[in-house]
Every structure is written in structure tokens, then in C-alpha cells.
A and B are shown apart, each in its own frame.
Chain A
Amino acid sequence: MTPPFLRERPLTACHECDLLLQPAQKKLHQIVRCPRCGYKLYQHKPGSTHNTIALALAGVVFFIPANTLPIMSMELFGQTHIDTMLTGVTRLFDNGHWWISGLVLLCSVIFPLMRLVLALLVLIPLQLGRSSRAQIEAFKLYHHLSSWSMLEVYMIGILVAIIKLANMAMISPGYGLICFTGLMLCTIGLSQTLDEHTTWDLLEKYRHD
């Protein structure tokens, strides 16, 4: 049975409380919330596609130096130790903590990179008016990885480590820290600029054209 109001215009529903809704007209910079539970249904972000492409490209540029240059170095008893994003992971692995090592590697290196690359794979063809099954699968993966990319948590971790060690050794930040900060800002910005709602609409629209 289809109620009469369903045939009149397309409806939407709230993702968090399942309330059936009449979609509002999209206006510039507008945030639309569910009237019942307050869930942010969508936020109109003008220029989202090319802003996100620019940010993702910047993130990819920062990625290699952020992971290979020293984040900080520490001098203790006349010996210097350098920490890059990967030294901690390899030491954990060498000492047999393969599970923690893998978890840290995934959340602080692999998933952030995957999100940047997947965003590019979805949005660059979309900007050219193309949509394919591969893009749809890539965008689903991007969506599922959103809470598993944790560079901002890692950043706070770096600060905690610096403060913990500050009274026992000389700590000096490296160039890697600057690149890491840039990479972190790009991955955070990605979630802020990408308009998932519109991206899905476009992926669907170009498929049927």
C-alpha cells in the first residue's frame, strides 16, 4: 500500500530516528536538521567537489614527508633517537606486539592515506561528469573508514609524549611534525568540505544519463 502523499514528491527519512520527512529546498550554506531528534540530515556546501579535491591532493603531497621525516628527536645520555611515524610501529612489531603495531599503523598511516586516495578516485571523475560502479564502491569504503582515521588523536598523543619526556631529556621537534600537522589538517578538512549527500546524488544522476 502506498499512501497518496508518497506519489506527489520524493520524500526522505531521518537516518537516526526513521522519521519520514518532506525534503526542504536546498539553500546556500544551510544546515538541515531532523525536527524530531536533531540529527544533521544534510549541510549544503557550495564548491564542495573541487575544494575537497584540492585538500585531498594537498594531503597526498604532505603524506610522504609526514611519514618519513623525523617528527621529533630526543637526546638522552648523549645518544640521539629519532621518531618518525613508522619507527614506533616497527619497534612494536619487532618486540612481538604485532596486533598493537598493526592497529596503530592502520589508524595513523594506512586509513588516512586510503581516505585521501579514495576521495580523489571518487571526485575527480565526478567533476568530469562520470560515475561508475568502481566510484560507488570506493565512496562506500571512504564512508566506512571515516571513524577509523585518527590523525588528530595521534597529534594529541605526540603532545602527551613530549610533555611526559620533557623533564628527562632534550626534545626537539623535526620537519616531519610540520608535514604531519599539514596532513592532519587536510584529513580533518576532508570531512568538513566533502558533501556526502550531494556526492551520492551526483553519483546516481550521472549513472543514468
Chain B
Amino acid sequence: MTSARHNNLCLCNTCHKLCKKPPAAQTKALCPRCYSPLFSRKPETLIRTWALTIAAAILFIPANLLPITTITYLGHSQPDTIMSGIIALTKAGMIPIAIVVFIASIAVPVLKLLGIVTLLLSVQYRWSMNPTQRTLMFRMIEWIGRWSMLDLFVIAILMALINLGNLSEFEAGSAANAFGLVVVLTMFAATSFDPRLIWDQDVTTDDKEPKDIKDD
């Protein structure tokens, strides 16, 4: 198996055109087709991904401890964290909704953070994990990230609907800000990770010929 990098070629990250690899000294090489900066691997990919992931992990703590919503009903205020909101839904018998909120607001962000950290460590310490499985994990992390926005959308909809002055009010809490940042930062972290690093350590055999593409 031979990689593009081995043949002094690199794929444009935006339009996927195969280009000649820019010399290391030339930092401002642009793709001839779409004028995006060319690089064989995303620049500073590990440092950037670590930074974004750590920031998201830190913000995940206030996002879960502070109240995400406060419902005032007939003069009685009830602040809810993400978890207490899920417990309240379960007690009210709305199990399916509780499961949906739990998956979007807790399971997905936690699994994403753990997944990105696993990928980073596996690349840095050359763990012998199956590269195909790791690529699949990366694709899942990329795809599922946006679904964590669900809770914020629900808050926006409920704020519009529940607005009766003193009788009943629905208010977003400070955790919503932290949670919004967690979602955005983890999405950026997934984009800044370069999956090609997973395969770079895999090049054990170095064939001289490129492989033919298989058809589905």
C-alpha cells in the first residue's frame, strides 16, 4: 500500500484534488483548483485537537452542574440541571423523551470527548488498534456531533411558548451557554483531527504501484 504522501503528493483538503506536495519551506502553497492552502496533513492537528477537546471537557463540568433551565410555575421557581431535567421527565412517565434528551445531551458529548481522546492517544502512542475501526469511530464522531444541539433548540422553542409573565415562565440558565460552547468546541475538535494520521503508522508494506479502486 502506498500513500499520497510517500509519492510527494497531497490531496487538497477542500476539493480533494491530488496536487504536488508543496516544499516544506513554502508555507503558502495553494490548491490550483480551489485556492485553499495545501498541506499533506492538517497543520498542528494534534495540538489543536487536544486544545479544543480539553476546553470542551472543562466546560462540560459547569454545563452539567449549573441549571440549564428554570421553570417558574404559579410563583414557584424550579431550576433544573441537564440530569435533573432527565430525571423529572422519567418521573413524569415520559421515558422515550428522557432517553432522547439523555442521548443528545449527556451520552453523545461524553462519548465524543472519550472518542477523540482515544484517537489522539492511539495516534501519539502508536497503539495497535485496528485502523479501520478507528476510522469508523472518527466518522461516527463527526456525524453525531450536531445532534447535541437538540437541547438548545428545545430550550429556544419552549422559551417562545412558555411566556406568561408571573403565572408561568421558562428561562434558559447559565449552563446553556457552557453547553453551547461544548457542542461547538467538540465539533471543531472533530474537524481539526486528521484521520490520515491513523493510517500513517500503518504503512508497513510499501508497494510500488497504486491500488485499483474496488467498485461497490
**Known A39-B135, A92-B172, A156-B100: A100·B160 in contact at CB below 8 Å:** no
Task: Determine if B213 and A158 form an interchain contact, defined as CB atoms under 8 angstroms apart.
Answer: no
Q: Is B163 an interface residue (CB 8 A)?
A: yes
Q: Which one of A47-55, A103-111, A185-193 is at the B interface?
A: A103-111
Query: Taking chain A's interface residues, is the majority helix, strand, or loop, or is none over half, making it mixed?
Result: mixed
Q: Which residues of B contact A36 (CB under 8 A)?
A: 1, 132, 199, 211
Q: Is B2 an interface residue (CB 8 A)?
A: yes
In this complex, which of A32, A97, A137, A139 has the most chain B Cβ atoms within 10 angstroms of its Cβ? A97
Out of B6, B11, B158, name the residue touching A164 (CB < 8 Å): B158
Task: Determine if A147 and B159 form an interchain contact, defined as CB atoms under 8 angstroms apart.
Answer: no
Q: Is B45 an interface residue (CB 8 A)?
A: no
Interface string of B129-151 (1 = CB under 8 A from A): 00110011011001001110110
Out of B4, B131, B157, B216, name the residue touching A20 (CB < 8 Å): B4
Q: Is A41 an interface residue (CB 8 A)?
A: yes
Out of A10, A99, A144, name the residue touching B18 (CB < 8 Å): A10
Nearest-CB residue, chain A, relative to B6: A20
**Known A103-B184, A154-B153, A163-B97: A18·B213 in contact at CB below 8 Å:** no
Task: Determine if A158 and B157 form an interchain contact, defined as CB atoms under 8 angstroms apart.
Answer: yes
Chain B interface extent, by class: 35 or more
Task: Determine if B14 and A150 form an interchain contact, defined as CB atoms under 8 angstroms apart.
Answer: no
Within 8 A of A (CB), among B1-31: 1-9, 11, 13-18
Task: Determine if B167 and A77 form an interchain contact, defined as CB atoms under 8 angstroms apart.
Answer: yes
Chain A interface extent, by class: 35 or more
Q: Is A173 an interface residue (CB 8 A)?
A: no
Smallest beta-carbon distance A121→chain B, Å:
15
Out of B168, B180, B195, B210, name the residue touching A99 (CB < 8 Å): B180
Interface string of B73-102 (1 = CB under 8 A from A): 000000000000000010010101100110
Task: Determine if B161 and A83 form an interchain contact, defined as CB atoms under 8 angstroms apart.
Answer: yes
By Cβ-Cβ distance, the 8 closest A-B pairs, closest first, are: A88-B156, A157-B153, A87-B160, A13-B4, A88-B160, A83-B160, A17-B199, A20-B210
Task: Determine if B159 and A91 form an interchain contact, defined as CB atoms under 8 angstroms apart.
Answer: yes
Q: Is B198 an interface residue (CB 8 A)?
A: yes
**Known A164-B97, A197-B16, A204-B33: A74·B161 in contact at CB below 8 Å:** yes
Task: Determine if A18 and B172 form an interchain contact, defined as CB atoms under 8 angstroms apart.
Answer: no
Task: Determine if B34 and A156 form an interchain contact, defined as CB atoms under 8 angstroms apart.
Answer: no
**Cα distance A84–B184 when bound, in Å?**
24
Task: Determine if A20 and B158 form an interchain contact, defined as CB atoms under 8 angstroms apart.
Answer: no
Smallest beta-carbon distance B164→chain A, Å:
6
Smallest beta-carbon distance A114→chain B, Å:
16
**Cα distance A17–B154 when bound, in Å?**
38
Interface of A toward B, CB cutoff 8 Å: 1-3, 5-6, 10-24, 27, 30-39, 41, 71-72, 74, 76-77, 79, 81-84, 87-89, 91-92, 95, 97, 99-101, 103-104, 107-108, 133, 136-137, 139-140, 143-144, 147-148, 150, 153-154, 156-158, 160-161, 163-165, 167, 197, 200, 203-204
**Cα distance A107–B152 when bound, in Å?**
11
In this complex, which of A31, A100, A150 has the most chain B Cβ atoms within 10 angstroms of its Cβ? A100
Out of A2, A13, A104, A200, name the residue touching B33 (CB < 8 Å): A200
**Known A22-B210, A92-B172, A200-B33: A81·B161 in contact at CB below 8 Å:** yes
Q: Given contact pairs A13-B9, A19-B3, enumerate 8 new A-B contacts (beta carbons under 8 Å).
A: A5-B210, A15-B16, A17-B196, A19-B2, A20-B7, A22-B210, A76-B162, A91-B163
Within 8 A of A (CB), among B26-43: 33-36
Q: Which residues of A contact B136 (CB under 8 A)?
A: 38
Q: Is B66 an interface residue (CB 8 A)?
A: no
Task: Determine if A83 and B157 form an interchain contact, defined as CB atoms under 8 angstroms apart.
Answer: yes
Nearest-CB residue, chain B, relative to A71: B157
Smallest beta-carbon distance A32→chain B, Å:
5
